[in-house]
Amino acid sequence: MSREILQDMAGIAGLFNVPHAAADCALLLHGLQHRGQDGVGIAVTDGETLRCYKRRGLLSELLKAEPVQESPGTAAIGQVRLRLEQDRMDENLQPVMVRAYQGHFAIVSTGMIENAAALRESMENQGLIFQGLSDAEVIAHLIQRESGHLFEKITRACRQMQGSWTFLLMTKSTLYAMRSVEGARSLFVADVPSAPGGKAFATESGALSILGAEHIRELEPGELLRFGKGSEGRWVLPADGPCLGPCAMEYVYFSRPDSVLSGRGVLGARKAFGRALAQGETETADMVIGVPDTAIDAAAAFARELNIPYETGLIKNRYIGSTFIRPTRMQREQGMRVRLNAISSVVAGKEVFLVDDSIVRGSTAARICQLLREAGAAKIHVRIAAPVICAECTKGAESSRKEELAGARWTEEELKEKIRADSVRFLTREEFSRALGIRACRACFGCGEETRKDEENGRTV
């Protein structure tokens, strides 16, 4: 079977040494549901057995169908994820369960192993059989084929994997947490105050607040943690290349506004993007409108900087998931038709700044401009609080092919005509970097080569 890498936009969570771990894991996944609505799974152990529950759809659908919250156990791991168009098999749902004579374990992952196809082919040539296409299964097989203690097997496997990824691995009595050396995908660990000695893990720090977690910290790039009965371990794998920093799109779109990555708050970053966008403005308008939800903070900051009223001109149906992470074009277009509506009493006869967080394919921007035109807007100046996305992501975020990306196909002037706006302007890469203030992976902005050169010159970008 030919394999097209599954670039999971996903979230993972886990707990160790916590009563009712499965129920608490479900709470953490609820806090990560925005990262994927097409598949969910939870594995739990009581120290004697490993049980796994997973299905397509939302977390709420899994909880209705399976007795997850009543499942006994003091450790659990889980994942929410999106489904790509070519991903149609239940075997790709996580956790991946491994039952071997060396011991049973469950694993969930996020991100992307860039050399997964080559690793898979090598293992298949050795006779190993894969059930699905997920990177978690690649990690599981790599670990299985190594010898020694489980920690040694994990570290040897990790040294073979290129790219940016994180994973949680759970046996009947231990839990391992790992973040790749590249560091574009984040993982957080925290103490659970209601359970002395308990630990919680999540892709985003904001999700951990649901449990009232304390001492939240981000795993370092290359850091591996082990938690067992009465013992803990920590190791940091040596880097053989530069750390990329967190994914820039986490600040732009993916993460909750209450999350913090590499010490930089997502909410503060979005406000900074809005202010930076306003500082280069040459047009005027009657009001600023933000596209709900992730562009609201940038739009409000943009309005304050220009001293222009911020208005609610678009209403979002809260029961419709993100169109950006829907797997097919048809589903994205159908979702957009019912997801947003313009308020004519606000925009009719007005010139508006329409602020959005990003433009990927351009279909959403075109539809929103159409809605505003139909509602009577006199002029629409589209402002994007991020640079042009002009390259495919190879670090684990769901991404269109380059030929589908609006930023790779059209200039700003051409894009203006395509989406029927009066003007279009993006943050420049330099403006974005100054506003963010920390090093981050910006490869999707066409910064891959620039980032490598900056690293070689000792610059932080």
3-state helix, strand, coil in the chain (%, to 5): 35, 25, 40
DSSP result, 243-269: ---SBHHIIIIIS-TT-EETTEEHHHH
Any known ligand binding at 447?
Answer: no
CB proximity list for 1: less than 8 A, separation 6 or greater: none
Neighbours of 17 (CB within 10 A): 18
Tokens coding 43 = 């594995």
Contact 142/162 with Cβ under 8 angstroms? no
Any known ligand binding at 294?
Answer: yes
H-helix or E-strand spanning residue 369: helix 363-374
Can you list the positions of beta strands (E) in 357-459? 379-384, 423-426
CA–CA separation, 378 and 422 (whole Å): 10
Any known ligand binding at 356?
Answer: yes
Q: Can you state the angle between helices 135-145 and 150-160, rounded to 10 degrees?
A: 130
The CATH number given to 10-242 is 3.60.20.10
Query: What is the model's pLDDT at position 358?
Result: 93
Pairing of strands 39-45, 423-426: unpaired
Tokens coding 431 = 């403006």
Tokens coding 216 = 């939240």
Any known ligand binding at 52?
Answer: no
CA–CA separation, 85 and 60 (whole Å): 23
Which residue reads 């496997």 in tokens? Answer: 157
Q: What is the domain partition of the chain in residue ranges?
A: 10-242, 249-456
Beta-bridge mates of residue 352? 287, 380
Share of the chain above pLDDT 70, in %: 88
CA dihedral 115, 14, 190, 9 (to 10 degrees): 50
CA–CA separation, 23 and 269 (whole Å): 32
Pairing of strands 223-228, 175-179: antiparallel
Q: Which amino acid is at 209?
A: S
Domain 249-456, second-level architecture: 3-Layer(aba) Sandwich (3.40)
Q: Which amino acid is at 431?
A: E
Any known ligand binding at 369?
Answer: no
CA–CA separation, 41 and 58 (whole Å): 10
Any known ligand binding at 247?
Answer: yes
Residue range 400-459, pLDDT digits in tens:
677 778 777 888 889 999 999 999 999 999 999 999 999 999 988 985 544 433 443 333
Flag residues of the chain having pLDDT under 50: 1-8, 85, 323-325, 449-461
CA–CA separation, 143 and 121 (whole Å): 16
